[in-house]
Amino acid sequence: MGVGVLFLNEKNEILIIKPSYKDHWSVPGGVVDKNESPRRACIREVKEELGLDIGSLEFLCVDYVSTIPEKSENLQFIFFGGKLGSSQIAAIKLPPDEIAEHKFVSIDEALPLLSEKLSKRVSQCLTTPKRKTGLYLEDSQKV
């Protein structure tokens, strides 16, 4: 299982990060450890990658990702971490061995910078009208 969290700034731009070990940008998050809930993993990953303590997360979606040659089937969870204020943004501390840089960009600018699957997943989360329940996807598509 994997997790990601979407943060916005006051201009409704999305926070993306550039992992030092990937060719594309991503959103904060990572792999869920053994006996760890997706929500707890998200909180831990945000602390590790951004140096921020967050407590409140809103579940946005779960995406069942079918088997592809380099990976087995898995579940990817996306949460919304809210809007970050200027003091929170100023407090972001990146681990240089893991995250090369971060930036806030418009949704339209962010999507082509993300991996294809993550781009589709984030797009579904952000373009679906407000709903009272989470979104269920299979291979980043609504079913």
- Give the start-to-end residue ranges of the domains of the chain: 2-142
Average pLDDT over residues 32-59: 95
How far is residue 6's CA from residue 51's CA, in Å, rounded to a whole number? 15
pLDDT at 109 (0 to 100)? 97
* Domain spanning 2-142: CATH 3.90.79.10: yes
Question: Which run of H or of E encompasses 77?
Answer: strand 74-83
Model pLDDT for residues 67-111, shown as the tens digit of each residue:
777 778 999 999 999 999 999 999 999 998 999 999 999 999 999
pLDDT at 94 (0 to 100)? 96
What's 41's DSSP letter?
Answer: H
pLDDT at 70 (0 to 100)? 73
- pLDDT value at 129 more than 60: no
Residue 80 CA, chain-centre distance (Å), reads 8
How far is residue 100's CA from residue 69's CA, in Å, rounded to a whole number? 28
